[in-house]
Structure 1
């Protein structure tokens, strides 16, 4: 693993793809002045910036104030593409409700004590035992089977992802179990330090949706630099021509990246962007 100062960069960088929590954002969930300046300088140099996150669109206010030309975001681990300029969803890759119900049933049986939340394009709802979302006071509280029920097929809001929380299992063990018993039905990943799984449609990932967005722009993986820190970033870090795991990253992200940079609290993303711009 090479460092931020000596890891190879693309001959031409046309797009920067960066995760938010634990990566671009500091631990206090803010952007440093140095990072804001680096993003602005990249844009001025003609490099597109994509925020690629597990967050839903409604939680993107943290970066919206610094959006200039770089207003595109891939949200919910690839389940949605959003335009932050008008807070609209451009593309959705939903999780089928029948598949979601099947996965819920399988996990209930394999991991007693699990609780669920359902992230729709219109907001999140969760079970009584699920850790409450203080940022979403309007959520419906009910069992997942009721939250996923659809009176008339195709009429309810699309499901972006289902979240599964276990109060006792270790995060990586819970992820491994879910992938083993239901990995043929849906995509499982995680980005939280707790045993919280994020379940998307089969094949949905940050990498797949980023690849689609890049293809629309005539940008190849060799022209992309990506940043991330958790298992939900692994596919993206592997896909990009150059990628950097944060100094605070999960071992799986470290293994997938072509280089490592400083931690999120040390402006690790800005350090690499400054190097990209200095080389132009």
Structure 2
């Protein structure tokens, strides 16, 4: 793998796709002045910047001022596309069917006793009593996952973007491997947290798949995309993009998937590459 200064770049870069936490954002969840300037310069040069994150749209306020002309963000690991200029209004949703979600919950309860769950709907998150609480969502309903996923009649409930599964004792990668072995034929399973917290989406849903569709709509070729990420939920996107960079702080799976490596998120690793792209235009 090559570094940020010598890794090959596309002959033409038309879109930059970047993860947020652990990638574009510093560890204190802010954007540095250097990164803000690099994003603005890229957009000014005609390069679209897409934020591609596991976060829900309602947690995008940290970057919503920096989406510039297009206003789009891919959220919830590809399960939703949001217009950040319209307060995060969802313009595209790829849901996890509730029957499938219930089956995955059943499987994980069986193979990993002690797992607790949260359910991320298009309307907000709700979670079980044992699940680590979300202090940013004080209005969440607290109940068992089976009740959270219940709907009075098919199609009457809000779409499910993902189910989150937390285990208090298993190692994060071991939990991911177990869940994929047990349920990967039913849903997409990944993780972005340093803890044993899994994110479960509809089968085939990923950052890469939704990004590819967004690029196709804009007539942007795969070879014209540069992507950045740091965790297992970025792997498919890093593999898909014409050029890709894992952060210096990245998970081994992301490092293996990327065509290059840049500095850490606290060292403005994304900005370093964007500056190089602009310097070569």
Aligned-pair distance for 1:71?
1.7
Structure 2: any 5+ residue segments left out of the alignment? Answer: none
Match in the other structure for 2:170: 169
Deviation sequence 1:42-83 (CA, Å, 0-9, x none): 000000010000000000001012232252100000000011
Match in the other structure for 2:20: 20
2: CA distance, partners of 1:217 / 1:168: 44
Match in the other structure for 1:263: 264
**How is 1:63-102 mapped onto 2 (pairs within 5 angstroms)?**
63-86=63-86, 87-102=88-103
Match in the other structure for 1:149: 150
Match in the other structure for 1:251: 252
Secondary structure class of the residue paired with 2:37: helix
Secondary structure class of the residue paired with 1:162: strand
Match in the other structure for 1:42: 42
2: CA distance, partners of 1:221 / 1:171: 31
Query: What is the root-mean-square deviation of aligned Cα atoms in Å?
Result: 0.5
Match in the other structure for 2:213: 212
Secondary structure class of the residue paired with 1:74: strand
Secondary structure class of the residue paired with 1:197: strand
2: CA distance, partners of 1:36 / 1:70: 16
Match in the other structure for 1:32: 32
- TM-score calculated relative to the size of structure 1: 0.99
Decide whether aligned partners of structure 1 residues 263 and 70 sit closer, same or farther in structure 2, where only a CA change above 3 A counts. Answer: farther
Match in the other structure for 1:190: 191
Contact 2:231 2:251 in 1 (8 A): yes
1: CA distance, partners of 2:53 / 2:66: 16
Q: How many residues align?
A: 280
2: CA distance, partners of 1:113 / 1:178: 14
2: CA distance, partners of 1:113 / 1:19: 30
Match in the other structure for 2:51: 51
Secondary structure class of the residue paired with 1:85: helix
Secondary structure class of the residue paired with 1:62: coil
Match in the other structure for 1:225: 226
Q: Does 1:203 find its partner at 2:204?
A: yes
Deviation sequence 1:210-254 (CA, Å, 0-9, x none): 000000001111000000000000000000000000000000000
Contact 1:43 1:70 in 2 (8 A): no
Runs of 4 or more consecutive aligned structure 1 residues displaced over 2 Å after TM superposition: none
Structure 1: any 5+ residue segments left out of the alignment? Answer: none
**How is 1:94-173 mapped onto 2 (pairs within 5 angstroms)?**
94-173=95-174
Match in the other structure for 1:239: 240
2: CA distance, partners of 1:66 / 1:173: 36
